[in-house]
Amino acid sequence: PGPAREAALARLELVADSFLSVSTPVQVAAPTLLARLPELQARAAGYTVKVGKFPFRALGRALTLNATDGFVKVIADAEHELILGVRMVGPNVSDLISEAVLAIEMGAQLEDLAASIHPHPTLSEALAEAAEVALERAIHLYQPRSKSK
């Protein structure tokens, strides 16, 4: 909390006004949903971004459903870790998008998603796992150490 975070939220509102909050599910091999800013548009708007992508193939519930095609991708402002957008592809993502929209609308940061309890095994764990990837502390997915560490 503070002036820097408020400025980041105000900037997000200005940029995001030209985007729909949630896109309509696209009927392709796997449903696709997008909340707020996609990665390329966030970069084009001047953000330096942190991106965390968690594949369904590493998710216990997706394995039990034999539905491992898909992922959750979280896009955040690198400086404030404010969530700018979420992309979801895969089974039942229409059941998962509400949490992403809430996180964006309330001005959540990556830590807010990562620290929220997600029951196991569920598909909703993918959102927290993607935030963990962006924070470079994923434990359920191999992640090479950043050169800055």
User: How far is it, in rounded angstroms, from Cα 95 to Cα 129?
Assistant: 17
H-only helix segments in 17-140? 39-44, 60-64, 93-105, 110-115, 125-134
User: How far is it, in rounded angstroms, from Cα 36 to Cα 28?
Assistant: 20
120 is catalytic: yes
SS3 38: coil
Q: In what order do the strands lie in the sheet with 49-55?
A: 32-36, 83-89, 71-77, 49-55
* Structure-token pair, residue 69: 């095609």
Asked if residue 53 lies in contact with residue 133, where contact means CB atoms within 8 angstroms, the answer is yes
Cβ neighbour number for residue 145 with a 10 Å cutoff: 7
Enzyme catalytic residues = 120
